[in-house]
Structure formats: C-alpha cells, structure tokens
Amino acid sequence: MRYHSHVIVSLCIGAAAAAYTALPFTASYTAGVVIGSLLPDIDEPKSYVGRRSFGMANKVKEAFGHRGMTHSLVVWGVIAAIVLFESSSSFSFGFVLGYLFHILEDFLSVQGVPLLWPLQTKRYKLPLYRTGNFVEKLLFYSSFALLVYIGNEHQLFYEWMKSLSFDR
Ligand SMILES: [Zn+2]
C-alpha cells in the first residue's frame, strides 16, 4: 500500500475509533495516527519514510527484509508498551493505533505480513489488493469519503479545530 493510502485509511479507522470510544479526535491524536501509519515502512528504502530515514531503511531491510519485523504484532506490542508507558498523551494513543492500522492494512495485501515474527516467519494475509492496483485506489477513495462522513456526523472536525487552540 502506498503511503497516502496508509494515511487516509488509518485516519478513517482512527476517526471511527474516536467517534465510538472516549478517544479525543485532537490535532495531536491525528498527528500520532499519521506518523504511526507511516513508520512501519522504515524497512523499505523506497517508501515515503524510507527515503527520509538517512539510510536507516537500507540497514533494516538488509537485516530483516521488507515487511519483516516492523510489521509484526509482537514488535508492535513491545513498541506500544514502551510508548504508552512513557506517555499516555493523545499523540501516543494515535501513534500506537496508527502503527497497528498499518499492519492491518498490509495484512489485506497479497504480500501479507509476518504477524508473529520472531516466533514465526510465516506471512499472514487476507489478500484484497495488490500495491497500487484498482482495489487499493478504491480503498483510498472510500476511506476518504467515510472519513469525511464520520467526521461530519460526529463533529470530529469541530473537535479537531478546537484542539488546535487548547491541545498543547
Ligand atoms: Zn507496510
């Protein structure tokens, strides 16, 4: 999945999560979701974050391969525990969720993800789309529409704008 799809699909799920739970849809929450949804591809030098990783992506890819360790639920669990232990800000919650959504989104691709690495190297998938194909575009546009709908229906955009002045 391309980075913009990861961002929009994750924001859409993140908005739904905020609409139906006590999670606040603030600027820092959405910033967390966006960054979390991009970070797992740090293992691919050609990805959006990979190209901005000062060569780190090459090292991670060399060591573990693309869609390797950074796409594991085990690794996510460890990162989530550390991040939430350090801070329970809305940014942290957004980050932890965005990272999880990224793994879920790649799980729906034909390439799949090693969900249980390092316990298992098996790749799990529920193949819905291939990177950049028609189905991914469909996911992108329908998530965008759904995001606007949920945001409007639950006054999330209003909450978001308000957070710009109070959420520091
Ligand atoms: Zn990925």
CA distance 117 to 72: 5
155 alpha carbon to ligand 1 midpoint, in Å? 31
pLDDT on residue 65: 74
103 alpha carbon to ligand 1 midpoint, in Å? 7
Task: Name the nearest CA neighbour of 14 among 107, 168, 143.
Answer: 143
35 alpha carbon to ligand 1 midpoint, in Å? 13
44 alpha carbon to ligand 1 midpoint, in Å? 8
Q: How much of the chain, in percent, has pLDDT values that exceed 70?
A: 98
Task: Name the nearest CA neighbour of 147 among 18, 2, 28.
Answer: 18
CA distance 9 to 16: 11
- The β-bridge partners of 113 are 124
Tell which wins on pLDDT, 65 or 142. 142
CB 10, CB 105: distance < 8 Å:
yes
* Residue 110: pLDDT over 80: yes
168 alpha carbon to ligand 1 midpoint, in Å? 30
Q: Average pLDDT, stretch 111-137?
A: 94
* Residue 167: pLDDT over 80: no
Paired tokens of 50: 């990979």
Ligand 1 is an ion; its neighbours by CB within 5 Å are 40-41, 106
42 alpha carbon to ligand 1 midpoint, in Å? 8
pLDDT on residue 67: 77
99 alpha carbon to ligand 1 midpoint, in Å? 10
Q: Average pLDDT, stretch 139-162?
A: 96
Q: Average pLDDT, stretch 85-102?
A: 97
**Cis bond before residue 118 (omega within 30° of 0):** yes
109 alpha carbon to ligand 1 midpoint, in Å? 10
Tell me the angle at which helices 3-20 and 156-166 cross, rounded to the nearest 10 degrees.
Answer: 90
* Residue 59: pLDDT over 60: yes
pLDDT on residue 166: 58
Phi and psi at residue 141, to the nearest 5°: -70, -35
30 alpha carbon to ligand 1 midpoint, in Å? 19
- Alpha-carbon distance values, 116 to 64, 68, 100, 107 (Å): 14, 10, 13, 12
pLDDT on residue 6: 97
* Residue 2: pLDDT over 60: yes
CA distance 141 to 134: 11
The confidence band for 157, taking pLDDT boundaries of 50, 70 and 90, is very high
